[in-house]
Amino acid sequence: MSQVEAFSAAEVIAAKRDHRALTDPQIDWVIDAYTRGAVADEQMSSLLMAIFLNGMDLREISRWTDAMINSGERINWSALSRPTVDKHSTGGVGDKITLPLAPLVAACGAAVPQLSGRGLGHTGGTLDKLESIPGWRASLTNAQMLKVLQDCGAVICAASADLAPADKKLYALRDVTATVESIPLIASSIMSKKIAEGTNALVLDVKAGAGAFMSDPKKAAELSHVMVGLGKRAGVNTVALVTAMDIPLGLTAGNALEVREAIEVLAGGGPSDVIELTVLLAQEMLELAGIKGADPAAALKNGKAMDVWRQMISAQGGDPDAKLPVSKENLTITAHSTGTVLSMDAKKVGLGAWRLGAGRSRQGEVVQAAAGIEIHAKPGDTITNGAPLFTLHTDTPAAFARAQESLVDSVRIGDLAAGEKIDRLPLIIERITD
Ligand code: URA
């Protein structure tokens, strides 16, 4: 016998269309019924658009988040002897921070259960990056995750199908109905997964600037306040940093290229912005986890974080000594004048890397491990006419022309007047604790 439904989808849609707040039972029902298939995609699309246009108040967002958590399992790490702490980034170009950060924080005494996703669009996904390491496996059972966490202190792997399944369905629908960029929907989507993941504490790295999906720092701060509130209400000690994504992070965008850069950081080198953000986020995570006296900057220099990285990669079948894939073809783009690099558009660089094969346009598409862009000069650097600016890597040379199109106008080179500063966002724009 079919289930008697508590509401009709049309009355829930009409309530939000008419600017009324949804009740707790309406929210619980619509998320559950959509997950079971009793609310159709076209009905949920209408409701999402009504939410996109008319918003939700904090009570509604909180209940919506809980309903998505309750659609699946909630992981329990109580068998661990260390406190758990995770980091989530809203995504950016060249954002490989998770790779050095997870082993670093583990080396300093916390447990880091990092359940990650794959990239869609111009920002890369952590799993895609790690999959460029020969043999490395993203899919683990919960028992395997626990074992890697117990043995290494950190695990980076794919979230199981049982973790907030309502969000998986909703996110795919939002992607094709132009309803992604809504603060209530983004906040509940991210936080439902992080709360279900069972971490005790969470640091959010909310990106702002051209390469972020929320380019306005004020909007990024607004999103941060909502997410911090949701985390705290669920008993997860949460802090957010709004950080710069107007220019790419580090000197690489693309899967294997970014792994190589992350390994440089773990070896005590690497670009200064990647080191600075990694250490700052590690300090935030350790503070939230209640670990005192650790020195993450030293753990990068003295090889302790690298030891955890090697252990963690091996535990998931990867060979930490294997040669990373190299592209079949590359092409260097040179500077067209002499001067200072005044600006670099992260989005255009990300799009270029994506067009070279580093990213996907549809879920399930295969990415090229070696594709991407190396950046030879960043804003503030001086460069001479004809010197290398970017090196493009791909296995499909036909992609060069389209990638070059996206890089046209991505960089401005000129002269800085005396006393003039590069116009760019500070690396840390704001710290949000409530
Ligand atoms: N990342 C998510 O997980 N959900 C969103 O809605 C946006 C970014």
**Domains of the chain by start residue, with CATH:** 9-55 (1.20.970.10), 85-322 (3.40.1030.10), 329-414 (3.90.1170.30)
Distance 45 CA to ligand 1 centre (A): 17
CB 93 within 8 A of CB 273: no
Instruction: For residue 146, give both structure tokens.
Output: 């626990």
Higher confidence at residue 364 or residue 41?
41
Q: What average pLDDT does range 262-289 have in this prediction?
A: 98
**Ligand 1 center to 167 CA (angstroms):** 9
Q: Catalytic residue, from 87, 168, 169, 193: name it.
A: 193
- Is residue 193 flagged as an active site residue? yes
Report the range of poorest mean pLDDT among 55-59, 64-68, 342-346, 357-361. 357-361
Can you give the pLDDT at residue 192? 97
Contacts 24+ apart (CB under 8 A), 148-152: 148/312, 148/315, 148/316, 149/77, 149/80, 149/111, 149/112, 149/113, 150/79, 150/80, 151/311, 151/315, 152/103, 152/106, 152/308, 152/311, 152/312, 152/315
Mean pLDDT of the chain: 95
420 Cα: distance to centroid of ligand 1 (angstroms): 37
What confidence score (pLDDT) does residue 255 get? 96
Residue 143 has pLDDT above 80, yes or no: yes
| Interval 169-186 mean pLDDT | 91
Annotated catalytic residue 232: no
Does pLDDT of 243 surpass 60? yes
Q: Which of 122-126, 222-226, 380-384 has the lowest mean pLDDT?
A: 122-126
From the list 63, 87, 88, 393, the catalytic residue is: 88
Tell the residue nearest (CA) to atom 1 of ligand 1: 190
pLDDT band per the 50, 70, 90 thresholds, residue 269? very high
**pLDDT above 80: residue 6:** yes
Q: Tell me which of 160-164, 315-319, 409-413 is least confident.
A: 160-164
Mean pLDDT of 121-130: 83
Cβ of 179 below 6 Å from ligand 1:
no
Q: How far apart are CA 192 and CA 186, in angstroms?
A: 10
Torsion of Cα atoms, 141 then 145 then 151 then 155, to 10°:
140
- DSSP helix/strand/coil, 382: strand
Output the CA 212–ligand 1 centroid distance in Å: 12
Residue of the CA atom closest to atom 7 of ligand 1? 186
Query: Residue 57 catalytic?
Result: no
Confidence class for position 419, pLDDT limits 50, 70, 90: confident
Give the pLDDT of residue 1.
Answer: 57
Residue bearing tokens 């603060």: 183
The answer to whether the beta carbons of residues 165 and 132 sit under 8 Å apart is no
Which has the closest alpha carbon to 12: 58, 60, 65?
60
pLDDT on residue 122: 67
Residue 85 Cβ < 6 Å to ligand 1: no
Protein residue closest via CA to atom 3 of ligand 1: 190
226 Cα to the center of ligand 1, angstroms:
14
**Structure confidence at residue 175 (pLDDT):** 82
Asked if pLDDT for residue 48 goes beyond 80, the answer is yes
